[in-house]
Each structure stands twice: as structure tokens, then as C-alpha cells.
Structure 1
Amino acid sequence: MHRRAIEAFILTGLGFIIIKIRVYARVRTIGGFKRLQPDDYLMLIAGAAFAAEAYFVYLATERYEGFANGGITPEQRRTLDPNSVEYQDRVRGSKTHVVAWQIYVFVLWTIKAAWCVFYLRLVGILMLRRKVYFGIFLVVSSWITIVLALLLSCRPLRHYWQIYPDPGPRCRPASSELAVILVFVLNILTDFYLIGIPIPMILATSFSRPKKFGLVLLFSGGAFVMVASVLRTVRLLKEPERGGSIAGTWAMRETFVAILMSNIPLILPLVRRWFIPSVRKMSSRRQISTSTTAGGPVSRVQTAQSRPAAPFPMERKQSSHTIRRPRSPLALPTATPTSDDCGDSGYDNEECDTERTEEACSAGREVESDDTCTNCSLTNHESEQGEEAPTGAVGGKKHEEQQEHGR
């Protein structure tokens, strides 16, 4: 298959995808197929005509190898056998180009009509509605003019596929200068007018400048169609002998650009629904992560937990599983040493005999830990000394007082 035919089918598939996304977006926005507007149906009609245009481009480039009744010298016309394959291909290729011209114009002007209906739904001011009505009249009248010009510029109609004698430049459908220039002028004129309808309304709004610029660019998609039209016209006028092979390809490119740019404004609402919530979620997550890494609440807690404790006069050694019992504010002070005082009082590593140590050991067994009942006891020798020393001192003082009283 010729690469031009492959390109035509690829563009057709992309055009169908764009139109399908547009219809899906409209259904999601307005709430059902029954609420589709006339511009939506016009775009569906344009899509079907675009597929027909791709088929005729396939016939002209693949089946008939780009042959038409142009690009041939008078001597070749005279000597070409009417029963030959080339002669038949040139005749059929010329007929294909006549039909392809009509389909090409129909697709472009159907898209222009869809733009007009779309504008008619948007504007409510009487003066702007009059501009839209005039735009509809301009589109319809220019389309009728082109159709009549293509059908009446070469009479009789069979001269469009005549090989010998030479039918003249107007009867060469693939590269007719009259058809090329007429379609180009009316196409540019209507696109300019349709672009100029929404721009004054956008500039009169109170939107910010970037938003105004974006809307103007969005509704100026016809400018890209005009660029494609200029390129197509230049190629056909510059290389008329190759009109049979390049006319259909450039027509497909121009109509694809028209379909793309006319559907983007109606696809954007669906794109916003798809991407803006996800973008907002991603931005909120980034803000949270940034706040935590830059000193947010979580990082402050982590910093406080990881900050080393203030130095004490004497370093305390505690087990990681030491259980601390809360102390009531009404409790009286006792002389019983606690686990917090063990490190400051020089206790030995023997098992505890006190009631508190037994409770701590039992609690440690409940959590399946054996490290609780360690590093908390006094030796028997030190406890006995600690208990007898005060008693002996008090007894000695009482004996001295009695002796002095007797004297």
C-alpha cells in the first residue's frame, strides 16, 4: 500500500478518536445522548464524510496510482491507447478527483457550520447573534458557490475525465487553478470571519490577561486550518503535473487539522475533570511532604524525640523495659528507693526483695520480659548498716542526757 494511502487511513482513525472523545465529553457534560445539540450531529456528519474522503484518496493514490487527465503532454495524449490500463486509470482517477473535491469542501464547510451553531448557543446578545446569523449565511452561500463553480466551470461535465483532445486547464480536476484559488479564497474568508466572532466578546470580559490569551488561542483554531490551506494551495499551483498524487493527501491533512482544532474547545472540560483533581491531590501531597521535611509539625515531634536528653550530674542507667509506676500527688514521701534512684545511690546487681520489685517482675512476666527485675537492690550488708546506724546514734544521745540529768 502506498504511504499516502496509509497516511490517509491513519488520519481518519485519529479523526474518529477525536470526534468520539468530543461526543463522550458532551454526553458527560450535558447528561445524555438525548441532549446533544445540532453542532454535535454536524460533527458526526463531518466525521462520516471524512472517512469517505479517505476512501477516495485511497482510490486515487493506490488503485489508480495518482493518474488523472493532467500532467501529460499533448503527444502522450494523442498516442495513448484508450484500451490501455493507464488510459483507464487516468479516466477513473479524474472521476475520483471530481467526487473528492466535493467531499473535501463538504467536510470543511460542515465544520464551519458546526462552529456557527456552537457560537449561536453561547452568545445571548442580539448584536452578536446577528453576527452569527450572518456567518451562517456566509458559510452556506460560499459552499453553494463552490459547488456550482466546480460543476459549471467545465461543460460538459464529461470533459473532467477527457484525455484526448486536451480539455483545458479548467477541466483538470486534480489541479484546476479555478477550483484551487476559489476554494482557497472562500475558505480563508469564512475562517477569518468565524474567528472574529468570539474574540471581541472575550476581550471585553474581566478575565486576566493570561486567561484571555488562552481563550483567544483556543477559539482561533481556524488559523491553523488556514495555514494548512495555504500549504495545500501552494503545492498544487507549484506542481500542477503532480496534482493527481498530492491533491488528496493535502486535502486529508487540512481536513484533519480542521477536525482537531474544532473539537478541542469541547474536549477541554472533560480533560479538566480527568486531570485537575489528580493534580490538586498531587499538589496537596507535595505540600504536606514539604511541610514535614521543612519543619512541619511531624518533623518537630521527630526532632524532639530524637533530641538528646539534658545532661545530669550523675548519669542514670535504666533498662529499656523498666516499668515506672505513676506517683499520686497526695502520696507522702518515703525512704524506699525507687528504680530511678538506683543509679544515683550505688546499688548492686542483685535480685530485689521489696514489694515494688516483685510487682515490677510480675508485670514484666505479663509482657514476657525478664529484664524488668534487674539493677534495683541493695546488698544485705549495706541495708543492715543503713538501718542500725541511726538507732545506735539515737541511743547514745539518750544515755548522755540521762547521766547529765542524774548529776
Structure 2
Amino acid sequence: MSLSTEKSEFFLQNTLILYAIGAVAAILRIIIRWRLMHRLGVEEWIMIFGLLCWTGDTALITVTVNKGTNQVPSDHRLTMSPHQVHEREIGSKSFITAWFLYVTAIWACKAAILMFYKRLTERVMEPKINIAAAGTLGSTYLACMLSLCFVCRPFSGNWTIFPDPGPACTEGLHYVWIVGVLNIITDLMLLCIPIPLLIHLQVTLTRKILLGALFGLGIFVVVATILRIYFTVVGGSISNMTFWSMIETSTLFVVSNAPGIKSFFTSKKKHSSSNGNSGSGLSRSHEMNSSIAHTHSTNNHNKSRVRNSITGNNGKSTSDSQEWIVDPQNPMVIHQSTRIDVTVEGASSDSTKDDKAPSYQVSAEARSHNSN
């Protein structure tokens, strides 16, 4: 049922606070990435998508709490006015839609974490592990979506007021258990991925513990999920369910963005202790090999022709960029390598062997790249 005015205001205030905490963490991470890299990675775009879904989820659950759902005692259904029925239908539709957005936001955060771990452990972990993790993440997300679509049949029972559609369509406990268990499984999976990296790090025990604590922040999400399941089952109300889902989601957004935020302070610290770094505290690692050849000759009209091209081995334009971990003592430092081959040629059909063209070899390299 809908909450009283006092309880509704309390719920709204706490919901907005929890949302603000998680949203600020995500936005801060995105700003830091843009400031350091002047571009957004795949993880940041996934995080933006997840934040948009969570924003919609937050808006819809406030509607749900204020208007109520179809979770109404059977004897009370017969005495409801058409206006009350309409209000609860709106609340119930908002509730089921919020579930879809909530699951998508949660799994988007998990996908961003997995992409970050993949890039971080690319050189120290078997690719099959990341592929298996991605498959597990995708299959569990699909299972959640299918449960939301098919647990309550017909689907319209999710907002039906009269007749009573049954507990599967009104209580939402099936969704809590299915999504909650799959959520915990995937969280534990993500917690295990950085373990090989920590094992292979040649650093002091203290540093290993600190890095392990950073990667292990996901345990707080597991605890939040367990508490959400417990208090939802015990309390049995929509307000309990939505409030604890906000705590869980806010915790996940903070945890999933913490490594990216930390990299900014790591970069600043390194910049303050070194005069060779760039002003932003980050210098991108580029390895550019440029071969510039220039041939000049005259034709019958004493004109020269110059052809500029960027070519690879097959005569096609190439540009290759890669990122991987290079400093096993600091897993936040990623090496980015960009290779560009440039050939500049000028030729004429009347060129002779005596026209020897000057050729130049240019190679520039800068190393130090801190990535979130």
C-alpha cells in the first residue's frame, strides 16, 4: 500500500541521498577519465548507460511508493474506488518497469567492472577466464529478464487489481530471490577475477593488502544484497524492498567506480614527485614509428608531384592502439601503444637514377600512462 505523507517524505529524502552518493561516484569517475585521457573508454559509456537506467529506476520507485501497488488485501479490493484502482495500476506499472531498469543498471555496473578487469589482467590471465566471466554475466542477466517477463502470467497481472492476480504478481518475492541469488553469484565471480593478478604482484605484503582491499570492495555489495533479501522477506513491503534496493545499487555504483577515482589521486601523487610528467598528471604512452621518404623529380613540364599516404604492410592505412598492464607493482598503470606508419612519396615518370631522394627515419616514444 502507499505510504503516509510523513513516511513518504522520509523515504524520498533517503532515496535521493542514496542516489546522489552513487551518481556522484559515477560522474566523478567519468570526469576523471575525460580529464586524464581526453576520451571515454568502453567502461565509462557502459557506466553512463547504467546511470541513466538507475535514474529511471529511482524516479519510478518514488511513484510506486506514493501511489501504491496491487499488493492489497483481498477484502479491501472490493471497496476500492475507480480512482484508487487507477492510482495503484500506475504504481504497479511503475514498479515492474523499475525492476527492469534496476536489473539493467546493476548488470551494467558489473559489465564495466569486468571490462576494467579484462584490460588490467590481459597479460597475466588466460583469455578464457574473461570470456567465461562475460558469458556468465550475460546469461545471468538474461535469466533475470526472463524471470521478470514470465514469473507472473499473464504479464498484465503485474498491475491487475481485480480480481486478485495472486502472490506471484503482487508480492514480488520471486523476483527478489531470483535476482538476488544471481546478483550474489556474479558479485563473487567478479571478486575472484583479480586474485591471479594479486598473486603475481612482486610487491610488499602491505601493498598487496591495500590492493586486495580495493578490489575486494565488492564484498560490501554482496552484504547489501543479502540484507536486501532478508529485510524484504521479513518486512514483506514494497517500501522495504525498494529502500534496500537503493542501498544495494548505491553501494555498487560507489564500489565499481572506486578504482577509477583512485587512479586520479595516484596520478596526481606521481606527478608531484616527478618533473617529467605532464601538467595533468598523466602522459599517454605512444610509440610512433614514422618512416618519411621523399622523392623529388621533374617531369616534361618541370612540375613535381607529391603523394602522401599512411600505409601498412599491405598498402592499406593502419593505426594500431593497445593497452595493457606494464608495471606489476602498480596494476593501475596501463601501457598504451599506438603505431602509425607514414610514407610520403613524390615521384615522376621521368625520374632518373641520379635523382636520389633523401630519406628520414623518425621515432618518438613516451612512456607513462595511468589508466582507470
- The answer, yes or no, to whether TM exceeds 0.5 is yes
Q: Deviations for 1:154-209, whole angstroms, at most 9, x for unmatched residues? A: 1111111112222111112xx32211110111001011111101112202322111
Q: Does 1:207 align with 2:203?
A: yes
Tell me, in whole angstroms, the C-alpha distance in 1 between the residues paired with 2:200 and 2:273. 31
Which of 85, 109, 112 does residue 87 from structure 1 map onto?
A: 85
CA displacement at 1:28 relative to structure 2:
3.4
**Residue in 1 aligned with 2:126?**
128
Q: Which letter maps to 2:58?
A: A
Tell me, in whole angstroms, the C-alpha distance in 2 between the residues paired with 1:269 and 1:138. 28
**Residue in 1 aligned with 2:228?**
232
Higher helix proportion = 1
Tell me, in whole angstroms, the C-alpha distance in 2 between the residues paired with 1:277 and 1:112. 31
Which of 262, 267, 281 does residue 268 from structure 1 map onto?
A: 262
CA displacement at 1:16 relative to structure 2:
2.9
Which of 177, 194, 204 does residue 181 from structure 1 map onto?
A: 177
Higher strand proportion = 2
Q: Does 1:55 align with 2:59?
A: yes
SS at match of 2:201: coil
Tell me, in whole angstroms, the C-alpha distance in 2 between the residues paired with 1:146 and 1:23. 28
Query: Given that residues 107 and 141 in structure 2 are in contact (C-alpha distance below 8 angstroms), is that contact kept between their aligned partners in structure 1?
Result: yes
**How do residues 103-142 of structure 1 correspond to structure 2 at under 5 angstroms?**
103-125=101-123, 127-142=125-140
Q: Does 1:11 align with 2:18?
A: yes
Listed as ranges, the gaps of 5+ residues in structure 2 are: 1-7, 275-372
Tell me, in whole angstroms, the C-alpha distance in 2 between the residues paired with 1:265 and 1:126. 19
Tell me, in whole angstroms, the C-alpha distance in 2 between the residues paired with 1:86 and 1:248. 21
CA displacement at 1:74 relative to structure 2:
1.8
Tell me, in whole angstroms, the C-alpha distance in 2 between the residues paired with 1:221 and 1:199. 13
Query: Given that residues 8 and 57 in structure 1 are in contact (C-alpha distance below 8 angstroms), is that contact kept between their aligned partners in structure 2?
Result: no
| Pair member with larger Rg | 1
TM-score normalised to structure 1 length: 0.62
Tell me, in whole angstroms, the C-alpha distance in 1 between the residues paired with 2:125 and 2:18. 38
CA displacement at 1:274 relative to structure 2:
4.6
Q: Does 1:68 align with 2:75?
A: no
TM-score normalised to structure 2 length: 0.67
Tell me, in whole angstroms, the C-alpha distance in 2 between the residues paired with 1:201 and 1:272. 19
Q: Which letter maps to 1:265?
A: P
Listed as ranges, the gaps of 5+ residues in structure 1 are: 281-407
Q: Deviations for 1:17-38, whole angstroms, at most 9, x for unmatched residues? A: 22222122223333x12xx211
Q: Which letter maps to 1:263?
A: N
Number of residue pairs the alignment of both structures matches: 267
CA displacement at 1:255 relative to structure 2:
0.8
CA displacement at 1:105 relative to structure 2:
0.3
Tell me, in whole angstroms, the C-alpha distance in 1 between the residues paired with 2:124 and 2:204. 26
Q: Deviations for 1:347-388, whole angstroms, at most 9, x for unmatched residues? A: xxxxxxxxxxxxxxxxxxxxxxxxxxxxxxxxxxxxxxxxxx
Query: Given that residues 128 and 197 in structure 1 are in contact (C-alpha distance below 8 angstroms), is that contact kept between their aligned partners in structure 2?
Result: no
Which of 102, 112, 117 does residue 100 from structure 2 map onto?
A: 102
CA displacement at 1:277 relative to structure 2:
7.3
CA displacement at 1:213 relative to structure 2:
1.0
Q: Which letter maps to 1:55?
A: A
CA displacement at 1:272 relative to structure 2:
3.2
Which of 146, 152, 155 does residue 154 from structure 1 map onto?
A: 152
Q: 1:100 to 1:79 in 2, by over 3 A?
A: same
Query: Given that residues 15 and 256 in structure 1 are in contact (C-alpha distance below 8 angstroms), is that contact kept between their aligned partners in structure 2?
Result: yes
Query: Given that residues 91 and 162 in structure 1 are in contact (C-alpha distance below 8 angstroms), is that contact kept between their aligned partners in structure 2?
Result: yes
**How do residues 373-392 of structure 1 correspond to structure 2 at under 5 angstroms?**
none
Q: Pairwise CA RMSD of aligned residues?
A: 2.1
Q: Which letter maps to 2:43?
A: D
Tell me, in whole angstroms, the C-alpha distance in 2 between the residues paired with 1:7 and 1:86. 26
Which of 151, 164, 167 does residue 165 from structure 2 map onto?
A: 167
Q: Deviations for 1:47-70, whole angstroms, at most 9, x for unmatched residues? A: 1112111111221223x1xx1111
**How do residues 364-379 of structure 1 correspond to structure 2 at under 5 angstroms?**
none
CA displacement at 1:88 relative to structure 2:
2.2
Query: Given that residues 78 and 165 in structure 1 are in contact (C-alpha distance below 8 angstroms), is that contact kept between their aligned partners in structure 2?
Result: no
Tell me, in whole angstroms, the C-alpha distance in 2 between the residues paired with 1:197 and 1:111. 15
